[in-house]
Amino acid sequence: MSSQLSNTSFKFVALGAGNEVGRSCHILSYKGKTIMLDAGVHPAYQGMASLPFYDDYDLSTVDILLISHFHLDHAASLPYVMQRTNFKGRVFMTHPTKAIYRWLLRDFVRVTSIGENSILDKDDNLYTDEDLVESFDRIETIDFHSTVEANGIKFTAFHAGHVLGAAMFQIEIAGLKVLFTGDYSRELDRHLNSAEVPPLPSDVLIVESTFGTATHEPRLNREKKLTQIIHSTVAKGGRVLMPVFALGRAQELMLILEEYWTQHAEELASNQVPIYYASDLARKCMNVFQTYVNMMNDDIRKKFRDSQTNPFIFKHISYLKNLDEFQDFGPSVMLASPGMLQSGISRDLLEKWCPEEKNLVLITGYSVEGTMAKYIMLEPDTIPSVNNPDLTIPRRCQVEEISFAAHVDFQENLEFIEKINATNIILVHGESNPMGRLKSALLSNFASLKGTPEEVHVYNPRNSVDVVLEYKGVKVAKALGN
């Protein structure tokens, strides 16, 4: 279909996360080697529609597939790729990613098969439990900072600071170095270190653009806002619903709440205002967090060493398996999945609590276009019931957004991009408008290099649209320049 590319062409294509957030999947090819990055699903869609555009690439040509982290938008179509397509490559992820991936996807299969089994066919799943089990053993694990060579491709994982186990990959093919950030954060938080800058330079940078040119408020302010609004809501007898993705940022939020409840024990603790986390999955994964405490920051490691207990087992937070065991008598704080209120426990609670003015829905993650979390922030008068599309529910509760999403803001992204010093920058994982604004901001930032050999090119390709870069002889010049 496409014209024959010369041997020195580097080709990039996004099958997902091109001008959108969700279904991350990118394919790089250079000198006959092909690397796939991530295999996610889109949180605003279900079934086939949530997949990256796999039909647009011959997956049998992929040599290796690297998964950046366990979030569904980066990993949840992996069993589909391994079991249902003609993909034959090797798959790699870090140890903690694999440990959590196992639980997460089992839950994903279960949730989607229950949520979907209306009057229609039973087989609405992208893959089955068996697919998951069969493919799981074929996933190879890698250590951070150790370079792996597979099929003539070298790659190294660096900490991305986004969730436990999240990696950036620096990939080297025939001398050309490409860095893929995945989702990354440059902020030191309560349990993770900030993302690392790889010691070696990169020629091509594939970087997330979730927040575009937006600026995060300082961390301390956000924590203060968060705890204050929660405290004042429960003080008035209200309920606080915090929709969260089961693993990752939820643990960070719990560390904040646990500390605040300890500090305000007289008014809040001893079950006066209970905090619940309605996630059996998170409970199951607690030992994974304990196992990999050594990959977290000094602060949490010290806590772990000093107290000899798992810092992710909380005094003031109880786990709920489901809502059946929840007695909704008075003010409480509830963390519940899914994070974008699409269905499930968080959605059930939303529909139960949103008619009451004193209650609060507190959005802390990034909300993808097309999801209920995004919609509720418009403060609509009513919301549709998920189980009964003919029913609408009045919304009088408060809605607040305080972001604890572990993605870089503009300043952090720019500083990192400048450190990487790549001349070709490919933006992914951002809605069109923020991504477009980021592109313009980067171009004006690097405007002085225009016309020089160091000129910086920025691309924001849509899904299935190729970016082709010529790397003939450029290597030598670059090596001298550095």
Catalytic residue annotation? 407
- Tell me whether residue 116 or residue 259 sits nearer to another protein (CB atom): 116
DSSP letters spanning 37-80: E-----TTS-GGGGS--GGGS-GGG--EEE---SSHHHHTTHHH
Q: What is the DSSP letter of 449?
A: G
347 binds Zn ion (CB under 5 A): no
**Binding partner of 57, given another protein, Zn ion, none, CB within 5-8 angstroms per partner class:** another protein
- Tell me whether residue 73 or residue 258 sits nearer to Zn ion (CB atom): 73
468 binds another protein (CB under 8 A): no
> Is the link from the previous residue into 355 a cis peptide, with omega within 30 of 0?
no
User: Residue 390 phi/psi, 5° resolution?
Assistant: -80, -10
Between 410-420 and 432-445, two packed helices, what is the crossing angle to 10 degrees?
50
Which residues, in sequence order, are bridge partners of residue 171? 155, 178
- Tell me whether residue 131 or residue 258 sits nearer to another protein (CB atom): 131
Residue of the chain from 172, 183, 351, 412 that contacts Zn ion (CB under 5 A): 183
Query: C-alpha angle with apex 176: 74 to 445, nearest 5 degrees?
Result: 75
374 binds another protein (CB under 8 A): no
How many residues belong to the site for Zn ion (CB under 5 A)? Answer: 3
User: Residue 268 phi/psi, 5° resolution?
Assistant: -115, -35
71 binds Zn ion (CB under 5 A): yes
- Tell me whether residue 8 or residue 46 sits nearer to another protein (CB atom): 46
Residue of the chain from 440, 449, 470, 481 that contacts another protein (CB under 8 A): 440
| Dihedral class, residue 173 (left if φ above 0, else alpha if ψ from -120 to 50, else beta) | beta
**Binding partner of 53, given Zn ion, another protein, none, CB within 5-8 angstroms per partner class:** another protein
d(CA 215, CA 438): 12
Mention every residue, 6+ apart, whose C-beta is less than 8 A from residue 478. 201, 203, 423
- 30-49 positions binding another protein, by CB under 8 A: 45-49
Q: How far is the CB of 9 from another protein (least distance, A)?
A: 22
Question: Given the rule CB under 8 A, which of 84-92, 295-303, 345-353, 397-405 is the region that contacts another protein?
Answer: 84-92
400 binds another protein (CB under 8 A): no
d(CA 232, CA 237): 9
**Binding partner of 46, given another protein, Zn ion, none, CB within 5-8 angstroms per partner class:** another protein
Residue count of the chain: 482
73 binds Zn ion (CB under 5 A): yes
**Binding partner of 71, given Zn ion, another protein, none, CB within 5-8 angstroms per partner class:** Zn ion
127 binds another protein (CB under 8 A): no
Q: Per the structure block, which two tokens stand in for 176?
A: 């050309």
> Is the link from the previous residue into 389 a cis peptide, with omega within 30 of 0?
no
**69: nearest Cα among 177, 4, 140, 163:** 163
**In this structure, how many other beta carbons lie within 10 angstroms of the beta carbon of residue 468?**
13
Residue of the chain from 154, 301, 437, 475 that contacts another protein (CB under 8 A): 437
**Binding partner of 86, given another protein, Zn ion, none, CB within 5-8 angstroms per partner class:** another protein
124 binds another protein (CB under 8 A): yes
Q: How far is the CB of 274 from Zn ion (least distance, A)?
A: 29
- Tell me whether residue 298 or residue 390 sits nearer to another protein (CB atom): 390
Determine the longest span between alpha carbons in the chain, in angstroms.
72
Which residues, in sequence order, are bridge partners of residue 467? 12
218 binds another protein (CB under 8 A): no
Query: C-alpha angle with apex 376: 374 to 379, nearest 5 degrees?
Result: 125
Q: Per the structure block, which two tokens stand in for 186?
A: 């440059």
Question: Given the rule CB under 8 A, which of 83-91, 255-263, 302-310, 335-343 is the region that contacts another protein?
Answer: 83-91
86 binds another protein (CB under 8 A): yes
- Tell me whether residue 71 or residue 190 sits nearer to Zn ion (CB atom): 71
How many residues belong to the site for another protein (CB under 8 A)? Answer: 26
Interface positions with Zn ion (CB under 5 A): 71, 73, 183
Interface positions with another protein (CB under 8 A): 18-19, 45-49, 53-57, 59, 84-86, 120, 124, 432-433, 436-437, 440, 462-464
